[in-house]
Amino acid sequence: MVLKPHPWTPMNAFELAKVGEEAGLPPGVFNVVVGGAEVGEELCTHPGVDMIGFTGSTATGRRIREISAATMKRAQLELGGKSAHIVLDDITEDDVGGIGFGQVLMHAGQACTVTSRLILPEHLLDAYVEGVKATAPLITVGDPRDPAIVVGPLIRDQQRQRVESFVESAQQEGARLVVGGKRPDHLDHGFYYEPTAFVDCRNDMRVCQEEVFGPVLSVLTYRSEDEAIRIANDSIYGLAGMVMTRNAARGFNVARQIRTGTIMVQTLAPGADLGENPGDGQGPGWSLPARGMFNGGGPLGGFKQSGLGREQGRWGFEEYTELKSITMM
């Protein structure tokens, strides 16, 4: 195995190499090479490489597919996302304030599965805006080594400038800024950016179609369940997603209409209407109040331009195996 980390983040790969050495892996079994695109292109075209596993941008994934095709390499690609979080209309005004805002702050928004499009019933928008305004002052931004801090920095200034370009374009296209939208006033160094939320968004806006990779939430509204599903699917991506409801069966039936590789149904508790059978005759009875973001033991991967193949569990191992048939006569 050859591991090539991103040139901005090589140190964790070196630590993994140390762990392998301490565990007794023979020399040459696990290898780390560092560098930029030229190193990646060499690995993707080298005849000694049979399989490529990649996590990163869709643009780089397309390039990997292009240059590896000459040697017919297999590939497992976990690429970009613009995941949707649908709030169904059985959620009340008392529950809606701030929903989804915390999730877009995971790793300061630098996570592929971030649900950065919140799709909200139109009648809940005013209550949601008030909830976000009340939540934002409670979110601390600063040095992530401090346990009191919620949101740390972006990886470098280049990424912060990219986030700023999305915020600027959203405002130019008519989105309304509710909170954030600038660098924190109290931090004069480091690549920090305030948690940001926009409402009055349209799904054709750049901020709703492209992966920001920063702490920016776009809120869209709908009038019918079918419209919510249509908005969620109106994307080149299909990596992850979420449905929030008080009825597990309804949430399941919405979730299975979303073209995404991983999706979570969160039944709001207490008081969630699970019925005698959580499936309520409309779906499997698996849904319980959520205790985590996604099933860590299940397959992770995307539809559409979010990638090929799956990571995690037996599915992830199978990506790295070949079937061989031997016939004895």
Residues assigned a catalytic role = 78
Backbone angles phi, psi at 315, to 5 degrees: -65, -40
3-state secondary structure of 313: helix
Helices 248-255, 225-233: crossing angle, 10 deg rounding: 40
Token pair belonging to 115: 């649900």
Which letter does DSSP use for residue 266 in this model?
E
Give the DSSP per-residue string, 149-180: -SB---S-HHHHHHHHHHHHHHHHTTPEEEE-
Q: Which residues pair with 117 in a beta bridge?
A: 84, 218
CA atoms within 13 A on the CB side of 142: 11
Residue 110 near residue 76 (C-beta atoms within 8 A)? no
Residue 47 near residue 68 (C-beta atoms within 8 A)? no
> What whole-number distance in Å separates Cα of residue 57 and Cα of residue 79?
5
Residue 272 near residue 288 (C-beta atoms within 8 A)? no
Note every long-range contact of 262-266, with CB atoms under 8 Å and residues 24 or more positions apart, other chains counting.
262/113, 262/294, 262/295, 262/298, 262/299, 262/300, 262/301, 262/302, 264/240, 264/290, 264/293, 264/294, 264/295, 265/290, 266/242, 266/290
Residue 262 near residue 301 (C-beta atoms within 8 A)? yes
